[in-house]
Amino acid sequence: MLDREGCMEIRILSKQGKGIKEICRLTGHSRNTVRKYLRSDLSPEYGPRAARGSKLDPYKDYLRDRVEAAHPNRLPATVLFREIRDRGYPGGERIVRSFVSGLYPAPAPEPLVRFETAPGRQLQVDWCVFRRGQSPLSAFVATLGYSRASYVEFVANEQFDTLRRCHVNAFDQFGGVPREVLYDNMKTVVLERNTYGEGLHRFHPGLWDLAKHYGFAPRLCRPYRAKTKGKVERFNRYLRNSFYYPLVSSLKQAGLSLDVATANTEVKKWLRDVANVRVHGTTGEIPAVRLVAEREALQALPRTEVSVPSQRPEPIAQWPEAPLHRSPRDYDQLLGVEL
């Protein structure tokens, strides 16, 4: 029985005015076969094809379980691809993307306005909050505007001493200091906006000391315009989807929860092996590579450590050293002790 293409070839040649003998010569079919398909409306019928196995089949249940464990959060296909690749998956990433996309509703694209900055000019800083309550967990996130290189440090509180320590660690990690650092309206940064006029804010005194020591100018986003620092905002979303949700869901499947120490251990490896060596979607380049060029434009780190203001300790109460008003002999008499 002819396939669909062979059947159509015979009919097309006939419509072109070719005779049976000519059609047989051109196609190599017998006269009876050519007459059969020209005299009837027969079309080749195909039985059901045997389903072909996929390299992904042994890993589909694992992918479904991972997606279900992370619900309502979404795990990127790139993360799941790395996980099953480590488990022996021999196929490519495209088929994983196609399968995983069918497990989620398609998100609506969000329009973004991008502001590019020169090397060494700006660092964008933000708190990324993951948990509140009795076991709080936040991340200090800092992203350089030009290279998109990022530093992340997980913390249990957002107090100023924590913020200062994270700044110091970030500058050390980047190997220099930008000319300005952009914040939103966090309480540990600004005490009052426009105190001394439009755009002249009253910053936290500890932040001023930090800024003077390292030589950067603190800047604030406009109120209700967090997209002004869109580079770090987008990285926060990437941090949640590519690092936090996969890690938390894996620990959840093992009956464990994420603490600060574990988060910092894992995020260092993630920054080194994934985030800062990926091809950035906006720049089309690798952040770690661009950081090499941006580092030349950063200000040098100060030679001395930043001074940390300390509170004077309260005086320790001393036991009174005044002499006894009565002698031991008088107390013995009161107790009836014979002398």
The yes-or-no verdict on residue 41 having pLDDT over 70 is no
pTM: 0.63
Digit-coded pLDDT (tens) for 110-122: 555 556 789 999 9
Query: With the CA atoms of 234, 134, 263 and 104 taken in that order, what torsion angle do they form, in degrees rounded to the nearest 10?
Result: -50
- The string of DSSP codes covering 273-339 is HTGGGSPPTTTSS-HHHHHHHHHTTSBPPPSSPPP---PPPPPPPPPP-PPPSS-HHHHHHHTT---
Answer yes or no: do 196 and 282 share one domain.
yes
Single-letter code of the amino acid located at 331 = Y
Q: In terms of residue numbers, what domain contains 172?
A: 122-295
Q: Is residue 325 part of a domain?
A: no
Answer yes or no: do 69 and 24 share one domain.
no
Q: Is residue 321 part of a domain?
A: no
Answer yes or no: do 16 and 150 share one domain.
no
State both tokens at 97: 């993307």
Answer yes or no: do 158 and 89 share one domain.
no
Which ranges constitute the DSSP H helices of the chain? 4-15, 20-27, 31-39, 60-70, 77-86, 93-101, 160-174, 205-214, 230-239, 245-253, 260-273, 287-295, 328-334
Digit-coded pLDDT (tens) for 48-97: 555 567 889 999 999 999 999 998 888 999 999 999 999 999 999 999 99
> 204, 169, 184: which is closest to 126 by C-alpha?
184
Answer yes or no: do 86 and 173 share one domain.
no
Answer yes or no: do 278 and 129 share one domain.
yes
Answer yes or no: do 181 and 282 share one domain.
yes
- pLDDT for 305: 72
Q: Is residue 328 part of a domain?
A: no
Q: Is residue 323 part of a domain?
A: no
> 141, 108, 139: which is closest to 235 by C-alpha?
141
- What length does the chain have? 339
Average pLDDT, the chain: 82
Query: With the CA atoms of 91, 94, 97 and 102 taken in that order, what torsion angle do they form, in degrees rounded to the nearest 10?
Result: -100
Answer yes or no: do 136 and 250 share one domain.
yes
